[in-house]
Amino acid sequence: MPRYPISMPQLGESIAEATIRDIQIAVGEDIQADQDIFQVETDKAMMEVTTPATGTIVEIVAEDGTSYAVGATLAYVETTEEEAQRAGLIQRTEEAPDSDKSDEETSSEAKPHFAIKDEDVISETEQPTVKPTVEGGLPVPVRSTAYLNPRLRHRMEELGLNQADLAGVQGSGRAGRVTVEDFEKFIAELERNKMTDASPMRIAVADSMRRSWTRPLATVTVPIIMDRVLAHRKTLTDKPGVTLYAVRALAIAIAENTAVAGRLIGQKIVHPSAIDIGFAVEVEDGVLVPVLKNADQHDLSTMQDDYTKLVQLGQERRLPPESAGTGVATVTNVGPFGITDAMPIPLPEQNLVLGLMAGRKMPHWDREKETFVPKMECNFILSFDHRILDGGAAGRLLQRVGQLLAEPEQL
């Protein structure tokens, strides 16, 4: 029976490569169509590669821990021509044989063939490749006004570095400029240290934060009393997390004035068409941000199941595409780590990120009792694009979130 290649599929609109993390088949193993055969890692999630047809694995090209571009051959499956046609691996020509041609030519042209042009055929010895981000430099480096002479810039491009990587280099040139000699000394010192490869997730987070930092970001903080939220949570069967309360309150506050979550494009503020709020989920070596759609239109009880499911899928890095898009704002809860003060950074496509800090018992004056009483206080920190909001508007937005959390039964 003929054999056919199993290629790295297009796993997402912007995904050009993936890294093999688990090979779930062996040479000589019989497989079924749509069976999971490889587990791969992209910069966003863990995914499965399935076999296109029923047959027998005759060769495995892919190696564990190696990245392969979309279209690269990972393995070969031996199967019948009928099964290959059913799976779309090959197709027969529709043109009838020419009666003037020899039987040998007619027989050859009537056989199934790959439905692609000769120049597009993927060579078994020349796999398609994608230049790794870590070697080619991050797509959008941090902007800098520091001058780099052409020779130094060319040397950095050879190594896949950008100006942000020179932050720790002390320049010896005029006005403190970094010279080629400074750079080579810096590289030589680095090579004497222990180095490990950055994961695709780490590279993606780094790229996102670099792009975010090209904007004028600012932060405001408001302490919010959480006693009523915690009391309300105890009365519920499912007991939603504090993060979900914050997601819901922020969504309502944004819906009341959508300009606060807008984006400045040229001389226009583009308002969001839907109030989709993301929330940060920590995963190995990075963070994913599942999105709750139309969070302003659904109450806590309605969103609870989706929230719980997305937290689990996020931790497993198996978010469905519809829940992995970009919302208008993100809520991140660092309270479980004991953090009481921080500066969260909004995603490049967003204007707002709301950070929840660790709660602490703090004395508050009770006018009726005329004495200090302990209350659970939590700092809510809002980071925002200063081009869109000023401190006053950001403060009012946070105060509104606090007002909504003071009446959790209305959420």
pLDDT, residue 128, reads: 57
Distance from C-alpha of 394 to C-alpha of 220, rounded to nearest angstrom = 7
Tokens standing for residue 323: 């829940």
pLDDT band with cut points at 50, 70 and 90 for residue 236? confident
Backbone phi, then psi, for 373, in 5-degree steps?
-125, 150
Tell me the pLDDT of the chain averaged across its residues: 82
49: which DSSP letter?
A: E
Beta partners for residue 400, in sequence order: none
Percent of the chain topping pLDDT 90: 38
Distance from C-alpha of 200 to C-alpha of 320, rounded to nearest angstrom = 19
Long-range contact set of residues 264-268: C-beta below 8 Å, sequence gap at least 24: 264/385, 264/387, 264/388
Domain with CATH 2.40.50.100 in the chain: 3-120
pLDDT, residue 129, reads: 55
The sign of the torsion formed by the CA atoms of 117, 119, 125, 129 equals negative
User: Please, are residues 17 and 130 in contact by the beta-carbon 8 Å criterion?
Assistant: yes
Angle subtended by helix axes 300-315 and 242-256, to nearest 10: 120
Does residue 397 have a pLDDT over 90? yes
Which residue type sits at 68? Y
393: nearest Cα among 255, 259, 214: 259
Q: Between these two residues, 157 and 235, which has the higher pLDDT value?
A: 235
As a whole number of Å, the end-to-end CA separation of the chain is: 63
Q: Between these two residues, 138 and 204, which has the higher pLDDT value?
A: 204
User: Please, are residues 293 and 302 in contact by the beta-carbon 8 Å criterion?
Assistant: no
3-state helix, strand, coil in the chain (%, to 5): 30, 25, 45
CATH number of 3-120: 2.40.50.100
- HEC assignment per residue over 149-189: CHHHHHHHHHHCCCHHHHCCCCCCCHHHCCCHHHHHHHHHH
Domain with CATH 3.30.559.10 in the chain: 202-410
Which residue type sits at 30? D
Q: What is the pTM of this model?
A: 0.65
* Homologous superfamily (CATH) for 202-410: Chloramphenicol acetyltransferase-like domain (3.30.559.10)
Pairing of the two strands 329-333 and 277-279: parallel
Pairing of the two strands 329-333 and 352-356: parallel
378: nearest Cα among 223, 153, 197: 223
pLDDT, residue 227, reads: 93
182: nearest Cα among 141, 140, 152: 152
pLDDT, one tens digit per residue, over 323-367 is 877 789 999 999 999 999 999 999 888 899 999 999 999 999 888
Q: Which residues of 218-236 are buried (b: 16+ CB within 10 A; e: fewer)?
A: bbbbbbbbbbebeebbeee
